Chain A
């Protein structure tokens, strides 16, 4: 197993209830720095809820989670980003009526601090900051291959590009952990393959990835560590190959054989 200080994100007995339904039940997760970890599981297993708890969209009912050894509790979603966790959404959430460049510039918002008066009087520090924000945004657009569309409205570009744009926006905040919720959903085979290469390349920049994924090819292809969830619980974890042949996992996905008669 890995060393303790190599764990960038850790959840301990994380629990989230919605009324009588236990969406996440005593969930333990360890994400290793500089690797790609995946959470898989059947629909309704609670994967997205885990993400929403980690990014503070929901507060956990029980359990705790640590990021870089620091306990995160009672923070607002925008503070989570400041800590260095950026995310994307399962059903792409962009700012549709703004340009691609403006979309990506959003990521730098929390990394800049010009106030109202600086903006109204165009203080030199504000101008410099705007320039920096814009340069980083352009760099990230370039990285995902969308610099040609920087002045297009986000709603007008192709679906696959919108996914990449969302990733660029998350990257623009210079996160240390990037959480991707089903990045390959809705992409065709070619786009999925490009995406896998792209995600693999991100690790060079000292970035850690955590993804939820349905596409087994993606999971098995790029993950270093896979955690399997079912009905809110962790049922297995291990290297992709081990998971592939794990009987509990196969059962969760396909059901038991005896039940047929």
Chain B
């Protein structure tokens, strides 16, 4: 098989990129072995939760440009689905991961179908309403299911029979970061497919996208459904870690934080989500002394970011790398 010079160049670039990725993965794997402080590992776990939630919002906000400020609502659906089914019927939590994802996805489909044509700010306001309605519904304890303000407690640890019970900080750390790893692979592949491109076309210019044969409504809904499903998975993991879910974990403020994660990192950028999530989860730890002024500093950082780096900390790189790499793989697979 002929490999032209252009592809060779791309290969070279990929190896450089691969080294970086390998270093990052190895440092994530070694982290709990080097640092034997449960508290710090827990912080890293919540960094993981925010990363997963950030990745899920990144599909809706970053890839398609839909302003969704009620994203925590989808995570709440996932978390409560897990909590209720586990505590009432004793269904294992691992089995409930796909169930939570599907529950959140169905909910997103039903709620977003009628509002999907709304643009920008209007969609934003409706999603805020949606998030708040979910939270208030949970607070009001419908049919005695959600336990009102106390929430649902006594959720089991994730386990495969008695073989592997995920019960310690370190195990939870690996649990979430493995799931994130798989998610990232899936999302990168989606980004490089016609579906990922269609999402971007819609974000860039709706009318041109329609005229180019893209079913805008379908792809917007698809983004919401996949984003919600991923948020549902995050909700499931969150519920099993805390062993309790309560409405106060899913406030509007949390949705705002997710929004910030995507904006800080750069719209539609997967590495950006990691940076954003790191900022959100480590910032309060580092600045514990200024607890009272935390939001003030945070706001100032956001303003400065928007002024000097509106594209985000790590904007998505476009061009050779991604389009070339897929072709190289395609050619390899044919050999």
Contact = CB atoms under 8 A, between A and B. Distances in A.
Interface in A28-72: 55, 57
Contacts of B192: 130
B320 A151 contact: yes
B167 interface: no
B67 to A, nearest CB: 18
A76 B194 CA distance: 20
A78 B215 contact: yes
Interface string B220-239: 00100010000000000000
A81 B323 CA distance: 25
Interface of B: 186, 189-190, 192-198, 200-201, 204-205, 207-216, 222, 226, 318-320, 323, 326-327, 329-331, 333
A76 B210 contact: yes
Dominant SS among interface residues on chain A: helix
A170 B211 CA distance: 9
Interface in A106-130: 106-112, 114-116, 118-122, 124, 126-130
A114 B197 contact: no
Contacts of B216: 78
A120 B195 CA distance: 10
Interface residues of A, number: 50
A76 B214 CA distance: 10
Given A124-B333, A134-B327, A151-B320, A95 B193 contact: no
Contacts of A57: 207, 210-211
Contacts of B209: 95, 106
Contacts of A160: none
Contacts of B195: 114-116, 119
B205 to A, nearest CB: 5
A106 B215 contact: no
Given A78-B215, A106-B197, A109-B212, A116 B222 contact: yes
A149 B46 CA distance: 43
Contacts of A102: 197, 200, 318, 323
Contacts of B197: 98, 102, 105-106, 109
7 contacts: A77-B211, A89-B207, A95-B204, A106-B208, A116-B190, A130-B330, A151-B323
A127 B207 contact: no
B327 A169 contact: no
B84 to A, nearest CB: 28
A17 B186 CA distance: 48
Contacts of A153: 318-319
A114 B194 contact: yes
B61 to A, nearest CB: 15
A106 B214 contact: yes
A173 B330 CA distance: 22
A122 B191 CA distance: 12
Given A55-B211, A94-B208, A99 B319 contact: yes
A3 to B, nearest CB: 30
B193 A130 contact: yes
A82 interface: yes
A128 B330 CA distance: 7
B233 to A, nearest CB: 14
B210 A93 contact: no
A121 B329 CA distance: 13
A128 to B, nearest CB: 7
Nearest to A82: B213
Contacts of B198: 109
Contacts of A116: 190, 195, 222, 226
Given A55-B211, A81-B213, A121-B189, 9 more contacts: A78-B210, A95-B201, A95-B205, A109-B197, A111-B213, A124-B333, A130-B326, A151-B319, A153-B318
A101 interface: yes
B204 A98 contact: yes
A133 interface: yes
A87 interface: yes
A114 B189 CA distance: 12
A83 to B, nearest CB: 10
A166 to B, nearest CB: 8
Contacts of B330: 127-128, 130-131
A99 to B, nearest CB: 5
A255 interface: no
B201 A77 contact: no
Given A77-B211, A110-B213, A98 B190 contact: no
Contacts of A93: 205, 207-208, 211
Nearest to A108: B194
B194 A99 contact: no
Contacts of A99: 318-319, 323
Nearest to A127: B330
